[in-house]
């Protein structure tokens, strides 16, 4: 059996910020064409940095890749600009629903569409207005007045307006009420069903493992575990640390593993 083609391949990537702060220490991961892959890990593990290395936004944060490569759709992205990556079908929805608060809802939706035909853009606008009636109602209002959940829908819709083939989602459920998280999950499923591959960064591991088929766990800039999401959902260590089902005090994945080994050794 041959592996499915990969839309994204991150190979041994190392990064630094400001030429001194090393964050990623050789991260490798891949996203098969048409899959949802999750990237999990505690605060500061380097999840957002990984997405920035893929989208090219590292440079905006005084960061750069010092080793390894990012291959999208068979093309080594090298040091290509974030704009050219968007034009080639790669979109990132940033952490914290980074919408343009002072711009109207419609201006937000149009923000990433410079490379597209006007007729297609009009068609997509209608599509998202049909999907989210509220965005149509509020299309002339400043986006900053939308609720958190509405802003997340707008942020995802805005990135879809660029017609991506791979969507990078950074913590889409963060800070949202459970009902809204369910809506965001439905939207992610919908986007996936329309043929878009997704790399999903989440701290909500239960949600991410339900949505994805494969997952990577990142700690201190390294992948410490990866496997099918089904297998990770059953993994005792993952359940204990990430899903909070073990009743133990929360520790890092590596610490939990060490602790469990010692417990077995003592018994």
Ligand X SMILES: Nc1ncnc2c1ncn2[C@@H]1O[C@H](COP(=O)(O)OP(=O)(O)OP(=O)(O)O)[C@@H](O)[C@H]1O
Under the criterion CB under 6 A, does residue 60 sit at the interface with ligand X? Answer: no
> Please, which residue, 48 or 108, has the CB nearer to Mg ion?
48
Binder of ligand X out of 45, 65, 160, 217 (CB under 6 A): 45
Q: What is the 3-state secondary structure (H, E, C) of 183-248?
A: HHHHHHHHHHHCCCEEEEEECCHHHHHHHCCEEEEEECCEEEEEEEHHHHHHCHHHHHHCCCCCCC
Q: Give least dist CB 216 to ligand X, A.
A: 12
Structure tokens at 28: 């490798």
Choose one: 76-84, 90-98, 190-198, 259-267; the region binding Mg ion (CB under 5 A).
90-98
Tokens of 42: 């505690």
Among 12, 26, 59, 61, binds ligand X (CB under 6 A): 61
Phi, psi angle pair for 153, to nearest 5°: -60, -40
Number of residues in contact with ligand X under rule CB under 6 A: 17
Per the CB < 8 A criterion, the answer to whether 240 and 246 are in contact is yes
* Binder of residue 45, out of Mg ion, ligand X, none (CB less than 5 to 8 A by kind): ligand X
Residues numbered 173 to 192 that lie near ligand X (CB under 6 A) are none
Give residue for tokens 């459920």: 173
Based on the shown chain and the rule CB under 6 A, indicate whether residue 21 belongs to the binding site for ligand X.
yes
Here's the x/- map for Mg ion, 93-132, by CB under 5 A: it reads as --x-------------------------------------
Shortest Å distance, C-beta 69 to ligand X: 19
- Which one of 40-48, 52-60, 157-165, 215-223 is the stretch in contact with Mg ion (CB under 5 A)? 40-48
Instruction: Give 23 or 167: the residue with its C-beta nearer to ligand X.
Output: 23
Distances (CA, A) of 253 to 170, 242, 262: 21, 8, 14
Asked if 151 interacts with Mg ion (CB under 5 A), we say no
92 contributes a contact to ligand X by CB under 6 A: no
SS3 (DSSP) at 12: strand
Using CB under 5 A, which of 15, 48, 55, 108 touches Mg ion?
Answer: 48
In the chain, which ranges are continuous DSSP H helix? 47-55, 82-87, 105-110, 118-131, 133-137, 148-160, 178-193, 205-211, 229-234, 236-241, 253-266
Residue nearest to Mg ion (CB): 48
Comparing CB distances to ligand X, the nearer of 47 and 138 is: 47
Rounded Cα distance, 13 and 23, in Å? 10
Other CB atoms within a 10 A radius of the CB of residue 246 amount to 16
Binding site for ligand X (CB under 6 A): 17-18, 21, 23, 41, 43-49, 61-63, 95, 203
Binding site for Mg ion (CB under 5 A): 47-48, 95
């Amino acid at each position: 059996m041959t592996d499915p083609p990969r839309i994204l391949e991150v190979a041994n990537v190392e990064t630094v910020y400001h030429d001194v702060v090393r964050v990623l220490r050789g991260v490798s991961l891949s996203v098969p064409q048409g899959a949802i892959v999750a990237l999990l890990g505690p605060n500061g593990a380097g999840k957002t940095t990984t997405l920035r290395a893929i989208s090219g936004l590292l440079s905006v944060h005084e960061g750069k890749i010092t080793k390894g490569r990012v291959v999208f759709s068979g093309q080594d992205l090298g040091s290509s600009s974030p704009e050219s990556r968007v034009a080639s079908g790669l979109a990132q929805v940033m952490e914290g629903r980074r919408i343009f608060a002072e711009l109207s809802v419609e201006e937000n939706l149009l923000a990433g569409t410079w490379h597209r035909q006007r007729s297609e853009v009009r068609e997509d606008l209608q599509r998202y207005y049909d999907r989210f009636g509220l965005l149509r109602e509020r299309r002339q209002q400043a986006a900053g007045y939308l609720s958190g959940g509405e802003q997340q829908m707008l942020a995802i819709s805005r990135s879809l307006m660029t017609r991506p083939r791979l969507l990078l989602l950074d913590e889409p459920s963060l800070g949202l009420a459970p009902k809204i998280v369910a809506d965001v999950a439905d939207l992610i499923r919908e986007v996936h069903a329309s043929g878009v591959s997704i790399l999903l960064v989440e701290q909500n591991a239960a949600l991410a493992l339900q949505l994805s088929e494969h997952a990577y766990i990142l700690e201190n800039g390294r992948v410490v575990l990866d496997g099918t999401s089904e297998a990770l959902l059953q993994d005792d260590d993952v359940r204990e640390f990430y899903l909070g089902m073990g009743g133990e005090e929360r520790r890092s994945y590596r610490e939990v593993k060490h602790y469990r080994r010692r417990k077995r050794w003592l018994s």
